[in-house]
Chain A
Amino acid sequence: MFESKAGILFIAGIGFFALAFVSNALVPVLMYRDLPEQTAEEVVNPKLLYQVKELSWRFPVAFEEHVGAPDEDDDAAWKETAASLLRLGRQVYIGEGCWHCHSQFVRPVSNESKRWGPVSKTEEYENELQRPVMFGTRRVGPDLSREGGRRSSDWHAVHFFNPEWVSPDSPMPRYTWLFDGSPQRPNKRGLALIAYIQWLGSWLDSYPYYEELDVLREQDF
């Protein structure tokens, strides 16, 4: 059996693979099958809606041109706009490889919850925008799972255009192609990425506690 073709093919090849698949993949899948997977529309929350509207005030020309601002009071339309920005923003985030330099989960160790706020929970990831999940494997830059609302959208615009302008030691690459020539004019991808970043963590009741942290306050924000 141990040296026969059938043994190797069926026991090692298929059997052991299946065993690992069941125990390492299927078990969590089944455990979480009752958690509904939310769509992008469902994860739009008031904080994000505000951020998106704010984008349209801050970059009126760009927003009008690339996204098209709905009527101020038409909440359903804003919601739809926000959801489509989230979808596109996530694609930009993946396509540009942001996730190879930034993680999206706060671990219960190494003082991470002091730096970034509440430890990540399963429920936070059960949505369309976490397919595949953006846990990440490397942190050249900080974790982003609680980034939403931490900085203003124009900070992000300038930072994406040229990170060294706001963070002189930053090795983060420039993303000038997310703009029409200047940080005041983000294009569609740029606006979507900013909206996506502002969404991260916006589902939590409280923003993280950066302000309580003395060492962090010394940083020149």
Chain B
Amino acid sequence: MITNETTSTTTDPSELVDERLVRWYFLAACTFLGVSMLGGLLMAFQLVHWNPLNGIELLAPGRWRMVHTNAVAYGFLANAFLGALHWAVPRLTLHQVASRALSYFIFFAWQAIVLLTAAGIIFGPSLQTSQWVAAAASKYHLAMSLGAQGLEWGETPFWIDPVALLGLALVAYNFMVPIARAKPPLYVTMWYFMAAFVWTFLTYAMGNLMPEYHVAGTSAGAVGGLFIHDLVGLFVTPLGWGLMYYFVPIMLKKPIWSHGLSLVGFWGLAFFYPLNGIHHFLYTPIPMFLQYGAVIATVAVELVVTTVIVNFFGTLWGNGRAVVTNLPVRWFYTGMIFYFLTCLQCAMQVTLTFQKLIHFTDWVVGHAHLVMFGVFSMWLFGIMTYLFPRLLGRNWYSHALLEWHYWLSALGVLVMATDLILAGLFQGYFWASLQPWDVSLVGSYPFWVTRVFAGLAMFLGFLCFVYNLWMTYRGVRSPAAEATPASATWLG
């Protein structure tokens, strides 16, 4: 097994890595995260009747909720991952990406895809009855609208899908070339990345083409379940873990605890994760034996996840103080704790007993934020906190603001998730006891109010980060930062 240190010292990394591109990707990611959070807040305000913009077509909460989830997945997570990949892959393989020109093309194409998706979601429905759309629809027999398509995270309008697929294929090519050139053995990170490039492309193609063009009804539900699941499990998760296998040993200056467990983690995930798809649609008319299969595979994933967590805490063993003294490590390990909690939650909620109660409720939304924000966003924030000083060639403007970012995010998401999970239980009981629907709305109100404030805290934390970044960019150094010589270790 090769360790990260050996790879990064043998060649001059600045020749391998296009740092400007990494920076651009991170900035794009932050921009879209801001947009997405505003969309989430809009829906959160709507639910508690505080939305002053209610009734404005282009600010419709329903449309912005889709912008919220899409901007997070394709605008924030994908961009941040691409930035981190441009940093990590050349360093690990000791080869440049296939083509720098292609890298820049992908960068701009990807931003265009994200922006056009948002534009399609927001403007598409308004154009639906205009003359030329009606004419085109009847001419080309388009059953679809210019706006969102009806699959969660697959809302990407149909006219963008081919472009996005091409983009994903180019991304895979651009990174696969250096991986192919690298001398074996491959480091763990590379297993995850390689698989993720293949999976993301296949998943996207499956979810955005099949339920829209080929199959209807229950079968479309099965494909759709597989799609939403694979997007989290085969795009976000492997890239996230791959990056952890890369950054954690660097930060802690020691190799991963157990190579055997790394193997178990990777192959377990690869085998069981995709088999979970149908667990999103339990108790639907999808055949019951398939539902049981998905439930069992899901519980298996939990066991696999535990081995990965054990591996990482084994690595931390003996360096526990790093969690206090090293901010990126703290982001990483907080994310891992949240990951474990999410998966524990998942093992419960996937059982048919729990499904009766919590399906369709805010429990699921709590789960979604816990994993998307509490885990993957945290890891990416940790990576950005570590990399920005290196990318900009200067220290952070303010460490206090970095701490604020951490604490507001961590506590914000903890409160939000707990609150929504509890809300879900209440909603489930209100519905099952056949109370009028209003009762469940009134009963959810305090939870929804709490969620608004938790969301505001997360947003405030994000603003601290952005302001800090802005000041760092401008080269300002706060007096406090000058006074702490320990900053080097604190930032890994």
Contact = CB atoms under 8 A, between A and B. Distances in A.
Given A24-B277, A169-B442, A110 B432 contact: yes
Given A12-B195, A173-B62, A177-B57, A5 B360 contact: no
B128 A128 contact: no
Nearest to A96: B62
Contacts of B470: none
Interface residues of B, number: 100
B194 A137 contact: no
B128 A169 contact: no
B374 interface: no
A115 interface: yes
B62 A97 contact: yes
Contacts of A171: 46-49, 441, 448
A151 interface: no
B54 A174 contact: yes
Nearest to A142: B437
Given A176-B55, A213-B434, A3 B65 contact: no
Highest count of chain A CB atoms <10 Å: which of B216, B263, B271, B438: B216
A28 B286 contact: yes
Interface stretch (A48-56, A70-78, A87-95, A198-206): A87-95
Interface in A198-221: 213, 215-216, 218-219
B217 A127 contact: yes
Interface residues of A, number: 85
A138 B365 contact: yes
Given A4-B184, A9-B194, A137-B360, A215 B431 contact: no
Contacts of A218: 436
A187 B129 CA distance: 10
Given A111-B432, A122-B217, A128 B143 contact: yes
A189 B128 CA distance: 8
Contacts of A96: 60, 62-63, 125
Given A134-B150, A138-B360, A5 B194 contact: yes
Given A5-B179, A14-B198, A95-B124, A126 B216 contact: yes
A25 B285 contact: no
Contacts of A17: 198-199, 202-203, 230, 234, 274
Nearest to A29: B219
A11 to B, nearest CB: 8
A155 interface: no
Nearest to A12: B270
Given A125-B285, A137-B152, A219-B438, A25 B128 contact: no
Interface in A15-42: 16-17, 19-21, 23-25, 27-29, 31-32, 35, 37
Nearest to A172: B46
Highest count of chain A CB atoms <10 Å: which of B180, B365, B436: B436
B55 A174 contact: yes
Interface stretch (B205-213, B339-347, B377-385): B205-213
Given A109-B283, A133-B211, A3 B441 contact: no
A115 to B, nearest CB: 6
Interface in B467-490: none
Interface in A92-112: 92, 94-101, 103, 105, 107-112
Interface string B437-448: 110011000001
B218 A215 contact: no
Contact of B211 (A87, A103, A127, A132): A132
A213 B437 CA distance: 13
Nearest to A121: B285
A152 interface: no
B428 interface: yes
Contacts of B375: none
A46 interface: no
A137 B278 CA distance: 13
A92 B128 contact: yes
A4 to B, nearest CB: 7
A107 B274 contact: no
A120 B189 CA distance: 45
Given A5-B180, A111-B432, A138-B364, A28 B218 contact: yes
Nearest to A161: B55
Contacts of A126: 216-218
A8 B62 CA distance: 41
Interface of B: 46-49, 51, 54-55, 57, 60-63, 65-66, 121, 124-126, 128-129, 143-145, 147-152, 154, 179-180, 184-186, 191, 194-195, 197-199, 202-203, 206, 210-212, 215-226, 230, 234, 263, 266-267, 270-271, 274-275, 277-278, 280-281, 283-287, 290, 293-294, 355-357, 359-361, 364-365, 428, 431-438, 441-442, 448
15 contacts: A2-B267, A12-B267, A24-B274, A24-B277, A35-B217, A95-B63, A125-B285, A133-B221, A134-B150, A135-B221, A171-B47, A173-B54, A174-B55, A215-B435, A216-B436
